[in-house]
Each structure stands twice: as C-alpha cells, then as structure tokens.
Structure 1
C-alpha cells in the first residue's frame, strides 16, 4: 500500500509540474547573425539513376565567390552536390565542397536540406577548417537559403545565436 501511495503522490506531482510548464510562455527564440552570400557556378548534372534511397543526381561545383562581414573568398572547383529526389519528387541537397578565403584559409563545407514549395532549399551548413582565424566556424550551427538559377546557385547563410537573456 505504501508503494501505491508513493506512486500516486509522484504522479500527482508530475502532473502539477507539467501543468505549470504548459502555463508558461514559450522560450525566447534564437537569433541569426549573417555569415555571407555565396554565388556558386555549376556544371551540368550527372544522372546516376534510381537507387535504394531515391534518384541520385550529381551536380559538380565549379567555382564562385562568397562575401560577408567576417569572411570573403572564392569557391574552389572542387566538390559537388550528390542530391536525391525522393518518391514524392522532393529534391534534397547533399553537398561537399571547398571554400578558400581571401587570406588563403581553406574551409571544407557540407550542406544538406530539402527543397521547399517555393523552389528554394533550406540548408544545414557544417564547416571544417584548421585555420586559427576561422576556427570558430567549426563550432557553430549555421543555416542557409538556396535559390537556384541556370548554371548557378545563390546561398545566403546565417549563424544561429543564443536568445537574448
């Protein structure tokens, strides 16, 4: 009987705590800090075909430039988008390519994310560099919005910031 009373007391306490959480305002939303705008040139796609995860298309990345408040440079002719089209016809990017800053630092970047109904892609960006100046990129959460053109894409990128206290 003691065990049942203890269990009931715990459930009532949990229920009261959950109700208290429901009455609170939602937490403050994180902010975004602009990283850069990128203009990337592309070669014609290579059709891999249907596979177990969808229809794979490889789009070679051939160059471009990027500029922002903390970093500027060029997109090297090194990398591609190994995107997939799923059973519903939605394209999802899966890129790996190389940035080089104006001061010579090399930054490897991976992006992924699905196309939206307006034709833009929402991207997750992951950076990797050994440069001391840009090492902070290894430890950020970043997002981007991709707009495509004929033979190029434009990507605007932002860093996620903690909400103001």
Structure 2
C-alpha cells in the first residue's frame, strides 16, 4: 500500500450565481458568536450545467466568530429556465485580511481571490429532468460586493 494520495477528483464548471442580497441583520452576541442573517433578494444562475433564477425568499444564516471567520449556511431555491425548482443548501466559511474586511465594511467590491470564501453545495429536487442533482456535491468559490454575492460552482466528480 502506497502512502501517496491519489489525485483529487476533478472539478467541472457547473454554473455562476449572481445573488442580490439585503443588508445584514444581527440577532446579537450568542455564546458561539454574533448570530446574523442576510435575506436573499433573487438573482441569476447561468453556466454550462444550470441556468435559471434565484427565487426571492432565501436566507444566508451566519455566525461571526471571535476570530473574524464567518460561518455560512445559505438556503435558497433556483427556478430553472424550464420551470423546475431546485433547493440549494450551501455551507462554508468566509474570512479575509483586516484590509479586505474593511473594504467590505465600506461596501466596496472584493475580488474572489482576495479572501477565502468557500462553501459546499447540495441540491434537492423532484423535477425529473434534474434528478441527477440529488446525487451531486459542488464546491462554490465566492466573491462579495455590497449588495451582491457572486459564486462560481464546480461539480465535484
């Protein structure tokens, strides 16, 4: 048995999401950190494997930890161009240098590679044409603007 790791599974470009977001709403300090949420207002999904719109009404629940890391748990729905509804659950982490976080606080856009913004994405749907998504995990790499989140999703093979 070799101690070498096998090559990682390939990542296949799946879709890009541009999601409009409302302002952060804080519930205050809890023992685990500041609990907050961000209402998702809608947006566009476009790419080689998935196209549609973000349905209004999703929420990004967050915990701002004492070390400056934001734990993300977003839950929303994509309405595909053919009318199917796909549930999306996206959990991960976002953090950056003090300078980058200050840019965000001022409402300035921050490039994708300027901070760590990664989530693991799962899908759920009853639509026959989209059943394959029930068996897929995706990796999202994100960028944040004042009122917009941009995510590039890659299907993990």
What TM-score comes out, normalization by structure 2 length?
A: 0.84
CA distance in 1, matches of 2:134, 2:29: 34
Q: Give the equivalent residue in structure 1 for 2:60.
A: 81
| 1:55 Cα deviation from its structure 2 partner | 0.5
Determine the structure 1 residue equivalent to 2:142: 146
CA root-mean-square deviation: 1.2
Aligned equivalent of 2:73: 94
Structure 1 residues 46 and 116, CA gap change in structure 2 (3 angstroms): closer
Contact 1:144 1:158 in 2 (8 A): yes
CA shift for structure 1 position 102:
0.6
* Structure 2 residue runs without a partner (length 5+): 97-113
Aligned residues: 140
Structure 1 SS opposite 2:56: strand
Match of 2:126 among 102, 127, 130: 130
8 Å CA contact retained: 1:124, 1:142: yes
Residue 2 of structure 2 corresponds to which residue in structure 1?
21
Aligned positions of 1:104-115 closer than 5 A: 104-115=83-94
Cα distance, 1:137 vs structure 2: 0.7
Give the SS at the match of 1:133. Answer: helix
TM-score by length of 1: 0.80
* Runs of 4+ residues deviating >6 angstroms: none
Contact 2:122–2:134 at 8 Å: present in 1 too?
Answer: yes
State how far apart, in whole Å, the 1-side matches of 2:72 and 2:118 are. Answer: 9
Q: Gaps (5+ residues) in structure 1?
A: 1-19
Counterpart-to-counterpart distance in 2, 1:71 and 1:26? 32
Structure with a larger share of its residues in helix: 1
Alpha-carbon contact 1:39-1:64 (below 8 Å) kept: yes
CA contact (8 A) 1:120 1:148 kept: no
